[in-house]
Amino acid sequence: MRILGVDYGDRHIGLALSDPLLITAQPLASYALAGREEDDGAFFRELVAKHDVSEIVVGNPLRMDGSSGTRTDTTRRFAAWLQRRPWATLSSAARGRRIGRTASRPSSSSRPTSSGSAVRPVFTKTIKAVLLAAVVVIPAASGWLVRELRATRGEVREPVLFEVEKGLSARGVIERLSRAGFVGDARALRLACQVFYPGKSFKAGEYLFTPPVLPKDALLQIFAGRIHLVPVAIPEGLTGEETAALLRPGDAEGAEAFRRACLATSLVADWDPLAKDLEGYLFPNTYHLPRKASEQEIVEAMVAEFREVFDEGRRRRAAELGMSVRDIVTLASLVEEETALPEERPLISAVFHNRLRIGMKLDCDPTIAYALKRAGRYTGRLLFRDLRFE
């Protein structure tokens, strides 16, 4: 149930509608009087029905000394006209109600009914102030907010990486945006957070702002979690150790962190319960990741990509061949290392499958090369003495 505020004019009527809890009000589009009672009545009847209006408050202007004038009488007649509408008469609970402070008797036009919206002419300064706030102050505040959110500042002239740390509050983010020169009045962003993003959280990370930056766009980018990402290319054929060296060159601590992340076999335990590490499950691809992505996040992204590529159809085919996911991964890596030409791989795969079918050894160089890599003894080429490697 809502209250409809009416500010009557000779040609136009200002309107404001309360919220269901009767705490705040917002302005509606003003109504141009049609001059015909049936048309004006139809408009208000639809408005009352549409917004579930339980009471209509008509503001009546008084002179500075509190006395009535011509405008007061006109507004009284309009309120009386509203009261005569069958859908907007005084309810039975309003019987005997006095009309504001300037009247001493009930409105002669009020009729008790069992339902409908109650029209209450009110002539107090308080109601006038409320109506003024609804139709003047609120739009003015909204205009200020829109201007502040769309105003660009010349302090930022080059692309800037703006970092939002984990645990930073919305107020802290806004203050940092203000200090960085992205917003003129931090109050506008605080208000926008309360109005447009109530109760929402933002994602920690780095955000790339390229001037000109509107405050509203900066806020939207942060709450939408549009973190700045950089491409990370992982080529085919690398072992976990080689991948660690590629991602963390010259960073022994980072490479060690990557190796530890590769021991998180829980990521593939449902497919390969015997896995001792994630070797073979780090899918080669170009990933777009946060610049400060942790080693664990990188490994998780690579395994997630593997699981997406090795879909149910491929798992079903492996089962038809009597092979596990690990068998397929191992064989695929051997085929890939055996030749650099994609067109030769189907033939090599067929040869390996036939050898496995008849119980023959694979006798392929990549098995020796991989073992030497794991032992840190691979020099880039195989020698006869390497075949005796155990």
Reported as a single tens digit per residue, the pLDDT across 229-256 is 999 999 988 888 889 999 999 899 999 9
Distance (Å, whole) CA 256 – CA 156: 39
Residue (of 333, 313, 334, 316) closest to 324 by Cα position: 316
What pTM, to 2 d.p., does this model score?
0.56
DSSP 331-359: HHHHHHHH-S-GGGHHHHHHHHHHHHHTT
> Would you list the domain boundaries of the chain?
2-134, 151-223, 229-309, 320-390
Topology of domain 2-134, CATH: Nucleotidyltransferase; domain 5 (3.30.420)
At 89-135, the pLDDT tens digits run: 433 223 233 333 223 233 334 333 334 455 555 444 555 555 555 55
CA distances from 279 to 71, 175, 289, 320 (A): 86, 45, 21, 24
Tokens linked to 341: 């030409």
At 364-390, the pLDDT tens digits run: 877 777 777 777 777 777 766 766 766
Distance (Å, whole) CA 365 – CA 337: 9
CB atoms within 10 A of CB 148: 19
